[in-house]
Amino acid sequence: MAKLKLARFQQAPVTSGLLALNVLIWLGQISPLGYMFTNSFFFAPLFAPWEPWRMLTAGFVHDWSGPLHILLNSYAIWIFGRILEPLLGPVRFLAMYLTSIVGGSVAVMWLSDPQVPVVGASGALFGLMGAYFIVVRSRGGNATQIFTLIAINFGLGLFVSGISWEGHLGGLVTGLAIAGIYSQTRAREKRLQQIFGVFLVWGVLYGLTMLKISTWM
């Protein structure tokens, strides 16, 4: 049993590392100096012109009022991460995870109140769910279950206050895009096309960010 559990961690080292980082930061958030972690990492759209790194760091802080937020996100990320990381490889998995966080932040910029802060790894999680949907479809599997799961979780964000459905949507679309690129460029001879495709997604996110910022000036 111990060897089996260790093997699971070895097969998904990036997933394990990301979860450990999330937990360490959350522990910092609930410490006596926790406000320093939260205030340094959360994202609100109005911060984008001056502190753009928050578009990424917000994905590593969570609600500090209780453990439910980080527990739910961590469990779901572990479920999908240990499936996707061995399939994609650690580098491509990490690229998709981080890009989905930024994609969620871009959607928040466009669709939500620019003064309202957001935190959490939900954008990355929805990106993983979108990627899993693409993987199942590309392999000829039945994607009804994952589609239903995505729909239910996204729907909750529309009707439950305090949930950033905008971040969920942005992460989902980004994860679908990245996974779609991976799916179409799996052959070794298409590796450069794959890299170009990922950079293209980042270029689109950058363009959307700058376009939104220009409307505030």
75-89 per-position pLDDT tens digit: 999 999 999 999 999
Give residue limits of the domains in the chain. 2-55+63-214
Whether residue 132 contacts residue 80, with contact meaning beta carbons closer than 8 Å, is answered with yes
- Domain 2-55+63-214 in CATH 1.20.1540.10? The answer is yes
Distance CA 84, CA 167 (A): 21
pTM summary value: 0.93
Q: Which residues are catalytic?
A: 122, 168
User: Please, what is the Cα angle at 189 between 87 and 191, to 5 degrees?
Assistant: 55
The DSSP result for 93-159, as a single string, is HHHHHHHHHHHHHHHHHHHS-TTS-B-SSHHHHHHHHHHHHHHHHHTT---HHHHHHHHHHHHHHHH
The three-class DSSP label of residue 66 is coil
pLDDT digits (tens, 9 = 90+) for 163-208: 999 999 999 999 999 999 999 998 889 999 999 999 999 999 999 9
pLDDT digits (tens, 9 = 90+) for 170-182: 999 999 999 999 9
Is pLDDT at 153 greater than 60 in this prediction?
yes
What percent of the chain has a predicted confidence (pLDDT) above 90? 83
